Amino acid sequence: MIKMMQNVAEQDKFANVRYVFLDRDGVINRKPPEGKYIAKWDDFHILPGAEKAIAMLNHSGRKAIIISNQRGIALGLYSKDDVLHLHEKLNQHLTCFNAHLDAIYFCPHDRNECRCRKPGTALFEQAFLDFPSASSHNSVMIGDSLSDIEAGITLGMPTIFIKGDPKHQKPGAEKAASLATAVADSLLTAVEQFLL
């Protein structure tokens, strides 16, 4: 009975969500090992159920928006054009599942160089400008790292921590889970449990 009441309380926190901000690596696709980066489509492995989850968000009328740190650009491992090409391939792939991403924002900077690298909030602020009806009151941040959850908390929006594969979790995962509004095993689980 207590658990059922907790689930209802958690769902209430997501009742007004119209904009779903998603981290990329570890939420939509398999996160590479720490210190490794995804530079091309051949290395981009979508996690089970991710396409279905995005399609469900689309069909429910919610906007699905990626906010991603892409430090590999600053390190010279790949270019902005490489990331744009990869995201173009991702959207092409999603169309096969009647799904799409409404926008993708990424930070190309190294640590401590900008306000857009999560847990900074500049990319969210840009999204709020691009989608004038979006705000912290009708948005959620879904991510698999402490920086994702901290960014959502700074903006005052509910957050969902994706546990994912324990072998690939970043340091701070336990703290992220404890700070998040809710915790889920995968993006699909998060959407089914909290956003439908």
Catalytic residues: 23, 25
- C-alpha to C-alpha distance for 90 and 88, rounded to whole angstroms: 5
- C-alpha to C-alpha distance for 47 and 21, rounded to whole angstroms: 17
Contacts of 6 (CB under 8 A, 6+ apart): none
The type of residue at 156 is: G
Is 131:137 a contact under the CB 8 Å cutoff? no
CA 94 → CA 89, 102, 109, 146, distances in Å? 9, 12, 27, 27
